Structure 1
Amino acid sequence: MAIPVRVGRHTSQVPLRSPFLTVHGNVMYDVYYQSNVDTPYVEKDVYQHTVQTFLDITIRNQYPLRVAFSTNMGNSSLFRNVTGLNLRYTNRDFKNMLMNNARHWDAGRLHQLQQLQLLRDSLELRANEISRLKYKLQAPSGLQQVIEAKERALYASARDSLAKLPSYAMENVNLSQHWPPKDNWQKPEYSKADTALQKLTAERKAAAEQLDSLQKEFARFDKLYQQKKKQFGANNERLMDVLAQSRNNKELSDNLHAMNLPDTVLPKGYKQLLAIRSIGLGRTMVDYSELTAKDISILGVQAEYNPSYYVAFATGMVDYRFRNFIVNENRSRQYLNLIRVGAGMREGNNLIFTWYTGKKQLYNYNTDTTGAGPQSAPDYRIMGISLEGKWQLNKHNYLVGEIAKSSLPYYARAADKESAMGSVFQFGNRSNEAYSIKSFSFIPATGTSVNAMYKKMGANFQSFSLYTTGSSQSAWSLRVDQPLFNKQLTLSGSIRQNDFTSLYQNVDYHTSTIFKSIQATLRVRRWPVVSVGYSPSSQLMKLSDDRYTENLFYTLVGSVSHFYQCRGIMMNTVLSYTRFYNKQTDSNFVYFNSKNILLNHTVFLGRFTLNGALSAAANQDYALYGADGNIQFKVNQWLETGGGVKYNKQTVYNLEQLGYTGNVRVNVPRLGEIALMGDKGFIPGANKQLVPNNTGRLTYTRIF
């Protein structure tokens, strides 16, 4: 027996009103204490306070912004108190928001889904009518009505025939002699019963024909519904593909416009927002080109706009704070102003002209024009122009070339009393020119990546990417990355010559040494991860109040790490080896031409985490051995505590030292997390011996 089935109807929901501002992020306060500061600087009882917050702000759930604030304060004479605030918008965040909206696409507002709803309603009506007719034709009560009608018709026919026989007595009942009676089908009793049977038969025949018609119509509508539904899903998938695979912002904007999407996915002004590559206000990074301004921190504003043409600008105070512990209190104020205009998309072919100016202190010490000592008030203003072009050879290969010309340094134009702008347009003077070319290639068949760079800078060339002047410099580098064995083994190798720029290098720095580095990483499922690398390293040393030197040496690093399960217990083991190939003048303690090995093992036992480590460091003068162990215990969801001990033994001096560490973390609902740490350890001191160092840290974190 068929049972009527009612298909549930779609209930459209009224969308909730979006809040004007949605804010997520975190805030953190940290105070760090050191009884001794590590070498090569010596200070005691140093406190550092840090307050920072990162906020992700969304306006109307459509326009994303990021806010970052940090301030560092302390009592150290080496560390500068620094405060920074940054408000930033990038089209990368905007595209991520579009991607999120696409995943949660409110399809109930689309015209396409309205058509689906109409088809679905039609299907529901036909499905209900089909079920009703099937029930009517197949129900036992309907079949019983047919049987009873046939019986009544047969009984009435027999009765009418018997009544017309000549002798209707029992002794003369011989139906074979009087059958069939003449004109008996026209008698009243049978005619009445036969009419009821014919009516019931006609009704059932009409119902069967209607059922057949409805079933054919239902099949046709269902096919159309499935096609529309598939088309709707394809549109959603196409939107995700457009967001992920568009080559640049203009192509993405055009593709989105062609899809005729609703405001829930595409907010107003989306074309302009996609064209704005970035806007930064406050402490922000300027990263434009190799020969003008690359990775420069400023306190000001910068913006990039690239719909089909390109416009960018930056202005602000320059702050080389990536090494903020190096402070020259007599340094002059430095600022940067830069404008860029061009044609084309940054991700494709483009040609961009740059004009920059500002004030930048020269970090060379032989710029005196009189021979009697440094000038009392040097003119640190600089100015320059550059032309940069990118040629996209194909999807996986492109070239970037740039030429630039700057003003002469103040000491080079002092004799002629020439202005900075006038020296820029001295086209007969080639000493203030620079050239750069870079290539990027990817071979899909082998997965090979090849990056190469060459640049040459004249002795008097100046820019915010180059810290020193006074000598002609050239540099080149080549890097190759190659995955092998189905990406289980990755090889990376590079060679370079004089391609790094340091704030502390000598003005006449030049070297023909070719620096080499290579790294190999092997990742095989269920096997330990093995990594080996050989690369140059550097160490910064203070020579006087205003002079520093940077020593370069090679380092060999190898490690084996494995995360595994043993008898149902999760474990992690790491074995690492490090070798420094440096001189005694580079470091006066453990890291002088030393070999270092470390074995670390961690066991995860439910709420307990056990950790132990063994280490050894040896050089030509002595060896240092260490062992430590600690345990962490997660008491509950809001409390975690731990502690450990450490042991050091230094040969030759026969020193044995014992230290300890302890920590506790408390997570208070709606308030945040408070973490406290104390440690008694040891750092290199005078006479190549370890000295005690007590550290402590209190951290408060709130995530919202």
Structure 2
Amino acid sequence: MVPVLDTIWSNNTICKAPSPIHFKTGDKVVQVAQRQTTPGKPLPISIHGNVQYDFLYRSFIDTPYSQKDYQQHTVRTNLTITVRDQYPIRLNTALRLSNSPWFTNFFDVGAQFDQSTYLNHAKQALLEKASRKLMALPDLDQLQQQIRDQADKINALKKKFKSPDPNQQVIKDREMELFRLDKGSAETQLADLSLPSGLDGFDRIVLNKGKAALTDNEKLQQIQREANRRQQTIDSLEAAVRQLQGKYDSLQHSVGSRLSKLRQQVNKAKSLQELNQIGESNELPDESTGFKKFLTNIKSIGVGRTMINYSELTAWNVALTGGHIEYNKNIYAAVAVGKIDYGFRDFFNKNTRQNGQQLAMVRFGVGDIDRKALIFSVFSGRKYSYGSVVSDSVNNYVNVMGYALEAILKKDNNTGASVEVAKTTIPMSGSFKENNGLNSLVNFSDQSNLAISLKGQTVIQPTDTRLSGFFRKSGEHFQSFSLFSYNTDQTAWMIKADQSLFKNRIGIVASLRRNDFTNPFTEKTFKTSTVFKSFQVTIRVPKYPVLSVGYYPGSQLYIIDKDRIRENAYYVMNASLMHQYKAGSVRMLSSLLYNRYASKGTDTGFIAYSGTNYMAAQSVILPKLQLQGLYMFTDQEQMQYNTMELSGDWTVLQTIRVGAGAKYNKILEGAGYWGGRGQLTLTLKAIGMLQFQYDKSYLPTIYQTLFPVEMGRVTWTKFF
């Protein structure tokens, strides 16, 4: 706004566009130019991220195998390396060492182009570009210059208001004229005034002052007329400035509205291609060329150990140690080559079944994979025929080759569908040439090595109902890098519904699924035709406790006979009632929980194959102190016991936090057992965060007693 006399005028800009600021000090409007920061020379490379070391000790493990004095060391680094302030790369490393006979000792390194950060940088650049363009419109510049010119005129005119009172100024000028000369010069000056003779010096001065006073009155009238004229000019200029500022504010508001609308579109963009379309529709075309333009169309690129997820019937959730690249602009292309594993290396590493697996895959198509596309895939490699016996021979592998055609159609992020058909070679351990294995790829009358997959999701807007599901049918000889069971004609499906009611105060999620447990190593204790059901209801009413009730299946692995792995499925029912509130100025959290899990004793080797837990907890949260109290009753098939716990965490200093607690377990009509916990956290700028933890708890046994388990942990984390 522009000041009228005592108000402040400033030119507020959008998105940090440089512009001068005018403001008033006293009676003067001052113009100060905003400092424009000139971007410095980009750094060749900058590194940010964190490194973490973790040591874990457990005196005893019982699931999914038994071991005493388990120890594990883990070192992880997560780095973001930015090249020339433009190209972000994520570098992750992981090292794990343990004394377990089942867990793998490994060191992984993976690097990927950080498309998410690159997209955020592109969004910010587009908004700044739009701001510069809109704020540099000729009309805005012209109005801004006119306002500056008028403000300068006002400043010049108002500067004269700083002069002394006109009467005082006239007297001062006359006195200086009369007394600035020495005595001799003064007499000469008085003689020249042509006054009557015979008057002494004093009379001369008085008469002369009387004569000068008449001239001064005339001067005062002239000064007043000039001041009035100058004030009228100032008033006119200020009225003109207000009118110009009104036009400027209106135009600037229009620019701000356009930028606000553009910002909403930009924030919703999920890809660089979508962002470029937004820019072009707003006359802000992408001006990048060469390598930057190529990166704009990259979906993913990585080397080392990274995860790839291509399609349901080719390769999904596969850990690739090698390289991959995925490109999409009108055409779609992807290549992946390397050794593979499936992320479930634990329990199966002391043999060589994970070593030597490999994948080579090429995908090509047309369209936008995030909207509408048709993609053809060819894949080949070698994988082990996973079974339930851990000690399988290293030679128990199969060669895999196949192709797939996938059609993708998406309306937006909430609505879309895909259909995929794939055909592969039949399982064989020898070479394709020796077994004429490639013939099965073109034998279309044989559907035993054929598979089909359908996936979809949508939102019913009037009721805000979210639906999703999939269907997969595969022949007994079909194989890929996503499925593991051979010689089985499989049918798997899942449907899920998510419904909100009463302005999101009630949420309901329900699903049905069949044959969706796909761990390749396990013997199933359930029929593959079993339909698993799950649902969850959550009720949130402001100022009242939150109620949540859920019923869903669970799955547990365990090892039998030292080399066989079994997967047990069971149902879990949970209910919780939680309330956050204040007692005076103290924050409180009260909780009630109910948990029930059930399976058949003939289906599992666990002692506690069925049981119910009841728990009540109370937390008192102060600025530097948190207190927790807990009571739990456990009712299992062969034993019932109570657990009581009291603990607290205190922030001693900004850099020191300590915690301690005591637990008491009491078996009904049996013995009592004491446990507890302790924790110390140091947060120091020089070394990072260092945390020490100790916990002693108990596990039930077949002898109706509790077995002590101690756990210790040391964690160091440093951000930079």
Q: TM-score, normalised by structure 1?
A: 0.83
Q: CA deviation at 1:354?
A: 0.7
Is 1:287 the counterpart of 2:309 in the alignment?
Answer: yes
Query: Mapping of 1:106-185 within 5 angstroms?
Result: 112=136, 116=140, 119-130=143-154, 132-133=156-157
CA gap 1:609/1:266 in 2 versus in 1, 3 angstroms: farther
Q: What are the residue-to-residue correspondences of 1:295-334 with 2, within 5 Å?
A: 295-322=317-344, 324-327=346-349, 329-331=351-353, 333-334=356-357
What's the offset of the Cα at 1:537?
0.7
SS in 1 for 2:148: helix
The separation in 2 between residues aligned to 1:299 and 1:49, in whole angstroms, is: 22
- AA at the equivalent of 2:249: Q
Partner of 1:164: none
* Structure 1 segment 534-553 matched on structure 2, within 5 A: 534-553=551-570
In structure 2, the partner of 1:33 is: 57
**How big is the shift at 1:200?**
8.5
Match of 1:453 in 2: 470
Q: Secondary structure at the match of 1:594?
A: strand
Q: Does 1:625 align with 2:648?
A: no
How is 1:501-512 mapped onto 2 (pairs within 5 angstroms)? Answer: 501-506=518-523, 511-512=528-529
| Contact 1:505-1:550 at 8 Å conserved across structures | yes
**557-566 or 124-133, which deviates more:** 124-133
Tell me the residue number matched to 1:467.
484
Q: 1:664 and 2:680 equivalent?
A: yes
User: 1:646·1:660 contact (CA, 8 Å) conserved in 2?
Assistant: yes
Q: Could you tell me which residue of structure 1 aligns to residue 30 of structure 2? A: 6
Deviates most, 424-433 or 452-461: 424-433
Among 395, 413, 419, which residue is 2:436 paired with?
419
In the other structure, the counterpart of 2:273 is 250
Aligned counterparts of 1:430 and 1:509: Cα–Cα separation in 2: 27
State the Cα distance separating 1:553 from its structure 2 match: 1.3
Is 1:609 aligned to 2:626, yes or no?
yes
Q: Is the 8 A contact 1:9 1:121 kept in 2?
A: no
The alpha-carbon deviation at position 685 of structure 1 amounts to 4.4
How many angstroms does 1:111 deviate by?
6.9
Q: Are the counterparts in 1 of residues 526 and 569 from structure 2 also a CA contact under 8 Å?
A: no
Q: Deviations over 1:206-245 (max 9, x none)?
A: 8688657645653554244324433443453244223223
Alignment map for 1:646-657 (pairs within 5 Å): 646-651=663-668, 654-657=670-673
Aligned counterparts of 1:320 and 1:395: Cα–Cα separation in 2: 28
Question: Which of 511, 517, 537 matches 2:534?
Answer: 517
Question: What aligned pairs does 1:183-202 form with structure 2 within 5 A after superposition?
Answer: none
Give ranges in structure 2 of 5+ residues lacking alignment: 6-26, 170-214
1:376 Cα deviation after fit? 8.5
Distance 1:198 1:699 in 2: 87
Q: Flag structure 1 segments of 5+ consecutive residues without an equivalent.
A: 146-191, 367-372
Quickly say closer, same or farther: Cα 1:597–1:270, change in 2 above 3 A: farther
Alignment of 1:463-612 (within 5 A): 463-506=480-523, 511-587=528-604, 591-612=608-629
* Structure 1 pair 411–15 and aligned structure 2 pair: CA distance change class (3 A): closer
Alignment-mate amino acid for residue 68 of structure 1: N
| 1:329-366 C-alpha deviation (Å, 9 max, x unpaired) | 04252111111111111111111111111111112489
**2-structure distance, mates of 1:426, 1:394:** 38
Letter of the structure 2 residue corresponding to residue 445 of structure 1: P
How far is the alpha carbon of 1:28 from its aligned partner? Answer: 0.9
Contact 1:297 1:319 in 2 (8 A): yes
Deviation at 1:581, TM superposition (A): 1.6
Question: Residues 49-60 of structure 1: matches in 2 within 5 Å?
Answer: 49-60=73-84
Q: Distance in 1 between matches of 2:94 and 2:637?
A: 44
Deviations 1:356-398 (A, max 9, x none): 11111112489xxxxxx99994551101100000123678532
CA offsets 1:498-544 (integer angstroms, 9 cap, x no match): 13322134599853322110001112222222111000111112133
Deviates more, 1:630-639 or 1:416-425: 416-425
Map residues 426-441 of structure 1 onto 2, 5 A cutoff. Answer: 426-441=443-458
Q: CA deviation at 1:204?
A: 7.8
On the 8 A contact 2:524/2:567 being kept in 1, the answer is no
Match of 2:102 among 74, 78, 83: 78
Shift of 1:201: 10
Displacement of 1:546 in angstroms is: 3.7
**Structure 1 pair 102–422 and aligned structure 2 pair: CA distance change class (3 A):** same
Q: Does 1:91 align with 2:108?
A: no
Cα separation, 2, equivalents of 1:697 and 1:376:
37
Distance 2:431 2:141 in 1: 79
How far apart in 2 are the matches of 1:643 and 1:205? 82
SS in 2 for 1:380: strand
**592-601 or 18-27, larger mean C-alpha shift:** 18-27
User: 1:302-345: per-residue Cα shift (whole Å, max 9, x none)?
Assistant: 22111221111212211122352343504252111111111111
Please, which of 409, 425, 428 is the counterpart of residue 391 of structure 1? 409
Change over 3 Å in CA distance of 1:111–1:591 after alignment to 2: same
- Matched residue, 2:249: 226
Q: State how far apart, in whole Å, the 2-side matches of 1:213 and 1:691 are.
A: 93
AA in 2 matched with 1:13? T
SS at match of 1:77: coil
Residues 434 and 455 of structure 1 are in contact (CA less than 8 Å); yes or no, is this contact kept in structure 2? yes
Report the equivalent of 1:169: none
- Report the Cα distance in structure 1 between the residues aligned to 2:85 and 2:285, rounded to whole angstroms: 14
CA contact (8 A) 1:102 1:239 kept: no
Question: CA, structure 1 residues 135+144, in 2 after alignment: closer, same or farther (shift >3 Å)?
Answer: farther
Q: 1:104 to 1:84 in 2, by over 3 A?
A: farther
Instruction: Provide the residue aligned with 1:165 in structure 2.
Output: none
| Mean Cα deviation higher: 85-94 or 397-406 | 85-94
Matches within 5 A, 1:682-697: 682-685=698-701, 687=703, 689-697=705-713
Q: Is the 8 A contact 1:599 1:615 kept in 2?
A: yes
Conserved? CA contact 2:103–2:345, under 8 Å: no
Select the residue among 419, 423, 443 that pairs with 1:401: 419
Which residue identity lines up with residue 333 of structure 1 in the other structure?
Answer: G
Residue by residue, what CA displacement relative to the aligned partner does 1:257-293 show, whole Å, maximum 9, x if unpaired? 5656699x98985543332111122111111111111
Return the alpha-carbon distance in structure 2 between the equivalents of residues 589 and 379 of structure 1.
Answer: 33
* Root-mean-square deviation over aligned CA pairs: 3.7
Structure 2 equivalent of residue 339 of structure 1: 362
Could you list the per-position Cα deviations for residues 584-638 of structure 1 after superposition, in whole angstroms to 9, with x for gaps in the alignment? 2455556321011122221123322211211111123221221111122211111
**1:300–1:316 contact (8 Å) kept in structure 2:** yes
Residue identity (%): 31
Measure, in 2, the Cα distance between the counterparts of 1:266 and 1:230.
30
Query: How many angstroms apart in 2 are the aligned matches of 1:376 and 1:217?
Result: 90
Q: 1:22 aligns with which of 35, 46, 51?
A: 46
- 1:680 corresponds to which residue? 696
Q: Which residue of 2 aligns with 1:172?
A: none
Deviation at 1:683, TM superposition (A): 2.5
Correspondent of 1:381 among 384, 399, 402 = 399
Equivalents in 2 of 1:375, 1:203: separation in Å? 110
In 2, the alpha carbon distance for the partners of 1:237 and 1:266 equals 24
CA distance in 2, matches of 1:374, 1:105: 61
Residue in structure 1 matching 2:383, options 323, 344, 360: 360
Q: What is the alpha-carbon distance in structure 1 between the residues aligned to residue 525 and residue 65 of structure 2?
A: 27
Distance 1:210 1:144, change over 3 A: farther
